[in-house]
Structure 1
Amino acid sequence: MITVFGSINIDLVCRTSHLPRPGETVPGSDYQLIPGGKGANQALAARRAGASVRMVGAVGADDMAAIALGELEKDGVDLGALVRRGPTTGMAIITVDDEAENTIVLSPGANARLTAADLASNPPGAGDTLLLQMEVPFAESLAAARAARAAGARVLLSIAPFLPIERAALAEVDIILVNETEAADLARHLGLEAGAGGPETVATLSKALGKTVIATLGSEGAVASADGAEILVPALPVVPVDTTGAGDTFAGVLAALLDQGESLETALQFAAVAGSLSCTQAGAQPSFPRRSAIEAALNGPSSNA
């Protein structure tokens, strides 16, 4: 069982030819309201990869809550631990340009009111997986991590969006997930040499922290470093439409495969391909692939995995 303790948002998405510079107004498309939030995204990605998933999160008393929960409900994510706090559901305001790059402004709403006590009624147990991100109060995530590890659960932390984290806090985590930029930011924050590239930085972080560290490398795939060993897996070559949610897809699918008992290398291969597939459709949650699509891509002639 995977428990995701994290954010639930609405993504307000607008497409434009180029991202606006400071002070610039650019014409955009009709906006879309799409379920999102890193916690909900990762929960949905894990569920579509075949895992049993419980979502512990908060939404507001507004009409946006129903939209935010729509995909989770449809795919059978357990929402029994959901809480309603405050007037507004979290919202991410996303602009996507013609090169599939994006900018995001995040209004936390109810996510800022989630507490570790919300996990207490049905906490992860021995052999379970707790998946965390950085869009709810980190002190509450840290308390949840302590409780989960004490019960014998595996703890994965996606340091996205990046916030400075002290070394002592990372002691409560088993696996650290970052992208290449976040890996460099974390290394610098901890006073470590960032290295010439993602794999080198990941190896440095893993050695210094004594943890498994995994970084996504965009079109280059992903790399993991654990106990001095490196695993590098390729991405699936695709023509990107929208990169929003690719990192969350990777995190959710990785957690799903590990929770199902697969090796780290196999989990990385599935996660890298799933992240690539998610870039081929617009929006975050609508783009998340199902297990059958990931397996077909892994086994197909176009796959390098």
Structure 2
Amino acid sequence: MSASCLDLLDHLHGSVSVVGSMNVDYTVVTERLPKPGETVNGGPLTLLPGGKSANQASAAARIGAQVRMFGAVGEDTNADFLLEHLRDAGVDTSHIAAVAGPSGTTVITVDANGENTIVYSAGSNGEVSVDYVQQSSDALVAADVLGLCLESPMETVTACARLCHDAGLKVLLNDSPFVAELPAELIEASDILLVNEHEMAQLLDIAEPDDDDWDGLDWSDVARQMHDFGFNQAIITLGGDGSVVIDGDDIYRIAPVAVEAIDTTGCGDAFMGTVLAGLASGHALADSAQLASYVSAYAATGFGAQASYGTAAQIRERFGAK
């Protein structure tokens, strides 16, 4: 890790608002995935805190950003579980609403080869309304950066982007779960887009390379098409191959960080959370993405999403001697 990149860990002090999802992940490991109508034996059931937005908030807070989480939990024991883990990470949960019914959940089955099936039940996440955003507006805009993904109702995400953009916040949109047809108002009110390589190809109708050689892509042309789509700034993550940052007319290739991965669950959210923390603290988009490569690589060395996220000190210790 370069000295300049490592130094960013000492300067992550900005304020971040994250609006979106919180889920309890019910995970069981099986030898193989069941066929329709079939029952198979599984290992112990594991409950872990998740939800893309909660993961992103947790990652940003653990490395030093001041993070407020906005969203809704249900009136069940899962709500306490989710809020406790966010607070442990240093996230301000005082603006999270409680609504009738269950909190958001996912049911995940993982086989011996790492393949999985995931069923998402939105629960309270589906109750995050435009009215809630308006009622929370003062706290929402009291930040430097807003982080959004698409596990909340689209009209709520759009209203939130508009509110914060008009208030002068930088808005970072993670188009995940992927939606190819984004509302024009959401595009206009968002400053930076974060997608993976496959999402980028679908969004811009670009043919994916047959040999998965994304470095061979004409990234100048990708940047031009991204500008035409509505984003002058974007990050395209490439899995284990790093990422590409488009920042106006500049294109930066961000190298991957090699680790022996145990579980990549939530690594993309750790990346997003780090970029939010970096931008909120006044750092350049490319520098924030470079740091995010290290933070997300650290997350891959642990099990689960939030449970695997490191503090600034832990990440510095893991990579600082190199």
Query: TM exceeds 0.5?
Result: yes
Given residue 66 of structure 1, which amino acid in structure 2 is its aligned partner? D
Aligned partner (choices 41, 45, 48) of residue 27 of structure 1: 41
Distance change in 2, residues 1:245/1:102 (3 Å): farther
Give me the whole-angstrom Cα distance separating, in 1, the residues matched to 2:297 and 2:35: 28
What is the aligned length? 297
Query: Could you say which residue in structure 1 is the equivalent of 2:6?
Result: none
Distance change in 2, residues 1:226/1:288 (3 Å): same
* Counterpart mapping for 1:66-105 below 5 A: 66-105=80-119
Larger deviation, residues 268-277 vs 161-170: 161-170
Task: Give me the TM-score of the superposition, normalised by structure 2.
Answer: 0.85
Distance change in 2, residues 1:274/1:261 (3 Å): same
Q: Secondary structure at the match of 2:189?
A: coil
Give me the whole-angstrom Cα distance separating, in 2, the residues matched to 1:42 and 1:10: 15
Give me the whole-angstrom Cα distance separating, in 2, the residues matched to 1:298 and 1:292: 10
Given residue 288 of structure 2, which amino acid in structure 1 is its aligned partner? A
Larger Rg: 2
Distance change in 2, residues 1:148/1:101 (3 Å): same
Given residue 289 of structure 1, which amino acid in structure 2 is its aligned partner? G
**How large is the Cα RMSD of the aligned pairs?**
2.1
Cα offset, 1:22, TM superposition: 5.1
Given residue 256 of structure 1, which amino acid in structure 2 is its aligned partner? A
Contact 1:81 1:119 in 2 (8 A): no
Aligned partner (choices 211, 232, 255) of residue 253 of structure 2: 232
Q: Secondary structure at the match of 1:12?
A: strand
Distance change in 2, residues 1:298/1:79 (3 Å): same
Q: Secondary structure at the match of 1:171?
A: helix
Question: Does residue 180 of structure 1 match 2:197?
Answer: yes
Give me the whole-angstrom Cα distance separating, in 2, the residues matched to 1:270 and 1:298: 11
Question: Does residue 273 of structure 1 match 2:320?
Answer: no
Contact 1:57 1:114 in 2 (8 A): yes
Contact 1:45 1:249 in 2 (8 A): yes
Aligned partner (choices 232, 255, 260) of residue 281 of structure 2: 260
Query: Could you say which residue in structure 1 is the equivalent of 2:187?
Result: 170
Cα offset, 1:221, TM superposition: 1.0
* Counterpart mapping for 1:51-200 below 5 A: 51-120=65-134, 121=136, 122-125=138-141, 128-166=144-182, 168=184, 169-188=186-205, 193-194=206-207, 196=209, 198=214, 200=217
Contact 2:28 2:45 in 1 (8 A): yes
Cα offset, 1:269, TM superposition: 1.2
Query: Could you say which residue in structure 2 is the equivalent of 1:249?
Result: 270
Where structure 1 has 5 or more consecutive residues not aligned to the other structure, the ranges are none
Cα offset, 1:299, TM superposition: 2.8
Query: Could you say which residue in structure 1 is the equivalent of 2:316?
Result: 295
Distance change in 2, residues 1:15/1:287 (3 Å): same
Give me the whole-angstrom Cα distance separating, in 1, the residues matched to 2:198 and 2:41: 29
Question: Does residue 282 of structure 1 match 2:303?
Answer: yes
Aligned partner (choices 182, 199, 203) of residue 223 of structure 2: 203
Distance change in 2, residues 1:231/1:97 (3 Å): farther
Cα offset, 1:42, TM superposition: 0.6
Given residue 198 of structure 2, which amino acid in structure 1 is its aligned partner? T
Contact 1:101 1:243 in 2 (8 A): no
Give me the whole-angstrom Cα distance separating, in 1, the residues matched to 2:250 and 2:110: 37
Give me the whole-angstrom Cα distance separating, in 1, the residues matched to 2:36 and 2:300: 27
Where structure 2 has 5 or more consecutive residues not aligned to the other structure, the ranges are 1-14
Cα offset, 1:253, TM superposition: 0.8
Distance change in 2, residues 1:5/1:227 (3 Å): same
Q: Secondary structure at the match of 2:293?
A: helix
Given residue 69 of structure 1, which amino acid in structure 2 is its aligned partner? L
Aligned partner (choices 44, 50, 65) of residue 64 of structure 2: 50
Task: Give me the TM-score of the superposition, normalised by structure 1.
Answer: 0.90
Give me the whole-angstrom Cα distance separating, in 2, the residues matched to 1:258 and 1:158: 15
Larger deviation, residues 33-42 vs 118-127: 118-127
Cα offset, 1:99, TM superposition: 4.3
